[in-house]
Chains A and B, each alone.
Chain A
């Protein structure tokens, strides 16, 4: 009998929860529009949704393709990143204030000039953001097994992984992986201080403390993570390929905003789901990134590789997804890093660096251990963007938080992989770097890249969420 073997059947467990055979899908609040109907958790876990199917050219490895020095890596204070204090620290308070002033002026001027991508309706698209409440401990609105008088869910890590993956995909996630927290390595990917939550903010957020407590706790200054919560659920939400080609501007920013807003909804649902099973789900207490480094956890979960633009590249969507995380005490099998040729491709492609409007992406062939400032974490051999320049450009564009030109031009970022060419290209670069330069040229030749006339999207027959 396995360590995690359940003493009650899953069917009985669900009956005890009142879900029984009355329609699991409906009971879980899963939209009928998804066209799925599962009668119980067994069916859900046996469905293809519960698997992370990777293309055949993706290879698992013991170490990530990026070089790491775990001794140098320390838990990072998130308030230092460029989105919070980093920009003002880099430019100085006076220049920062001028930048913000310019941002407001440009925002209005662009509307008046009807600049494509910045018109009033584009601005309205940006300002339509409506954020569901999000917190570290979660909504706490579902009933726990204790409240119901039933034992908590017990399953083997592999079973749990299938369940969580199926649950998250049903609610809108694209890819799901898992990281086990180990004190000398992956635990360092959890921030020392969490996000200040509001943007812009120049002070530290709450301290994230691993504690011997049995339950998580949040005070005015700290968030306590019980040591028994050893697993991180890392999941992604897709960004629209169609809209990403109309960057920079509010149209190109929309996929980012949509993904982050969806995250707030999905995270709360996942936290409630875990709570109903008898486990904790410790989420990101911010509308944006929080809790831990998204790229690092994504790499260690085996979702993708890091890239020239310091973002995660996955085999399925390239750069075009956002990465989110929830810490839990539900036992889960840790993923292994994957290799599919991204680092080698980034060495020679440099399309993002060529296209960057302010040349903030380095053209160096080899990555470096050097950091550009306190806003970056040392111990990782990567290409590092000139983030002060990058973010200053974005903000001067009228409070556009993301320029995303690099996301728009990346040859690996093709979410719609109906064309045989895309898989042929990925399979080739995964196995040999010889044709990398050729594929960059083919990408140019095919006309991929940033498109003019972003206003066109308002007349398009767009797919739901822009996910084609």
Chain B
């Protein structure tokens, strides 16, 4: 499961990187750190959600999903927003026209 997840995420990130580069949007180091941290948190939250359910501890699963998964999603969104925001800023010319 981890192999497949790693493969999909790796391909996804690679595609995202190529896309960003093709559009001329650079990615800063802290955006990578935020994005990777967010992905790890989200994966752990999803993994443990099912693991806790397998333990017959659904409450632990939901709590863990909220406490770890939501910050993970927020970090991913924040990293994406920062990249997008800079791209928008750079692509707008001095006259304010794209």
Segment touching A, from B3-11, B15-23, B51-59, B75-83: B51-59
What's the least CB distance linking B87 to chain A, in Å?
35
Whether A447 contacts B54 in the complex (CB less than 8 A), given A419-B48, A421-B48, comes out as no
A448, B57: Cβ atoms closer than 8 Å: yes
Is B60 in contact with chain A by the CB < 8 A criterion? Answer: yes
Q: How far is the CA of A419 from the CA of B58 in the complex (A)?
A: 12
Write out, one digit per residue, whether chain A residues 388-423 have a CB within 8 A of any chain B CB (1) or not (0): 000000000000000000000000001010111100
Residues of A within 8 A of B48 (CB): 419-421
Chain B residues whose CB sits within 8 angstroms of the CB of A446 once the complex forms: 52, 57, 59-60, 63-64
Q: Which chain A residues lie closer than 8 Å to B64 at the CB level?
A: 419, 421, 446
Chain B residues with CB under 8 Å of A416's CB are 51, 54-55
Give residues of chain B (22-64) contacting chain A, Cβ–Cβ below 8 Å: 44, 47-48, 51-52, 54-57, 59-60, 63-64
Bound: A195/B56 CA distance, A = 38
Does A170 have its Cβ within 8 Å of any Cβ on chain B? no
Residues of B close to A418: CB separation below 8 A: 51, 54-55
Main secondary structure of the interface of A (DSSP, over half): loop
- Is A221 an interface position by the 8 A CB rule? no
By a CB distance below 8 angstroms, the chain A residues around B47 are: 419-420
Residue of B nearest to A424 (CB): B44
Interface status of A468 (Cβ within 8 A of chain B): yes
User: Would B55 and A468 count as touching, CB distance under 8 A?
Assistant: yes
Measured in the bound complex, the distance between the Cα atoms of B55 and A418 in whole Å is 8
The answer to whether B54 touches A448, judged by C-beta atoms less than 8 angstroms apart, is no
CB distance from B81 to the nearest CB of A (A): 28
| Residue of B whose beta carbon sits closest to that of A462 | B56
The residue from A242, A420, A448, A468 contacting B60, defined by CB atoms under 8 A apart: A448
Judge whether A458 is part of the interface by a CB distance below 8 angstroms.
no
Nearest opposing residue in chain B for A241, CB measure: B55
Q: B51 and A447: CB pair below 8 A?
A: no
Which residues of chain B are within 8 angstroms of A241 by Cβ–Cβ distance? Answer: 55
Contact of A445 among B51, B52, B63 (CB under 8 A): B63
Q: Are B63 and A419 neighbours in the complex by a CB distance under 8 Å?
A: no
- Nearest CB to that of A416 among chain B residues? B55
Q: How large is the interface on A (under 10, 10 to 19, 20 to 34, 35 or more residues)?
A: 10 to 19
- Within the complex, what minimum Cβ distance (angstroms) separates B22 from chain A? 36
A445–B44 Cα gap in the complex (Å)? 18
Q: Out of A420, A447, A460, name the residue touching B57 (CB < 8 Å).
A: A447
Given the contacts A419-B48, A420-B48, A421-B64, A414 and B55 also touching, CB distance less than 8 Å: yes
| CA gap between A59 and B78 in the complex, in Å | 41
Task: Give every chain B residue within 8 A of A448 (Cβ-Cβ).
Answer: 57, 60
- Residues of B with C-beta under 8 A to A419: 47-48, 51-52, 55, 60, 64
Complex CA–CA separation, A448 to B51 (angstroms): 14
**B-facing residues in A232-272 (Cβ within 8 Å):** 241-242, 245
Chain A residues with Cβ below 8 Å from B44 are: 420
Task: State the Cβ distance, A282 to closest chain B Cβ, in Å.
Answer: 38
**Residue-by-residue, is A148-182 near B (CB-CB < 8 Å gives 1, otherwise 0)?**
00000000000000000000000000000000000
Q: Write the chain B residue with the least CB distance to A447.
A: B59
Q: Which of B44, B52, B55, B59 has the most CB atoms of chain A within a 10 A radius of its CB?
A: B55
**Are B56 and A242 touching (Cβ within 8 A)?**
yes
Residues B63 and A447 in contact, CB atoms below 8 Å apart: yes
Q: In the bound complex, how far is the Cα of B54 from the Cα of A460, in angstroms?
A: 12
CB distance from B23 to the nearest CB of A (A): 36
Bound Cα distance from A151 to B21, whole angstroms: 75
When distances are taken between beta carbons in the complex, the residues of chain B under 8 Å from A447 are 57, 59-60, 63
CB closest residue in chain B, given A457: B56
Report A-chain residues with C-beta under 8 Å of the C-beta of B60. 419, 446-448
Q: How far is the CA of A421 from the CA of B68 in the complex (A)?
A: 11
Distance between A365 CB and nearest chain B CB, rounded to angstroms: 28
For A414, A416, A421, A448, the residue with the greatest tally of chain B CB atoms inside 10 Å of its CB is A421
CA distance A242 to B44 in the complex (A): 23
Minimum CB distance partner of B56 in chain A: A242
How far, in Å, is A412 (CB) from chain B's closest CB? 14
Q: Complex: how many Å from CA A23 to CA B64? A: 47
For A414, what are the chain B residues with a Cβ–Cβ distance below 8 Å? Answer: 55
Residues of A within 8 A of B51 (CB): 416, 418-420
Min distance, Cβ B46 to any Cβ of chain A, angstroms? 11
Which residues on the B side are within 8 Å of A245 (C-beta)? 56
List which A435-466 residues lie within 8 A (CB) of chain B. Answer: 445-448, 460
Contact partners of A242 in chain B: CB under 8 A: 56
Task: Point out the residues of chain B lying under 8 angstroms from A421, CB to CB.
Answer: 48, 64
Q: Considering the complex of A and B, which 9 residue pairs feature the smallest CB-CB distances, nearest first?
A: A447-B59, A419-B51, A418-B51, A446-B60, A419-B48, A416-B55, A446-B63, A447-B60, A420-B44
Chain A positions near chain B (C-beta within 8 angstroms): 241-242, 245, 414, 416, 418-421, 445-448, 460, 468
Beyond A419-B64, A446-B52, list 8 extra A-B contacts (CB 8 Å): A416-B54, A416-B55, A419-B51, A420-B48, A421-B64, A446-B57, A447-B57, A447-B63
Residue contacts A-B, CB under 8 angstroms, 11 given:
A418-B54, A419-B47, A419-B51, A419-B52, A419-B55, A419-B60, A445-B63, A446-B57, A446-B64, A460-B56, A468-B56
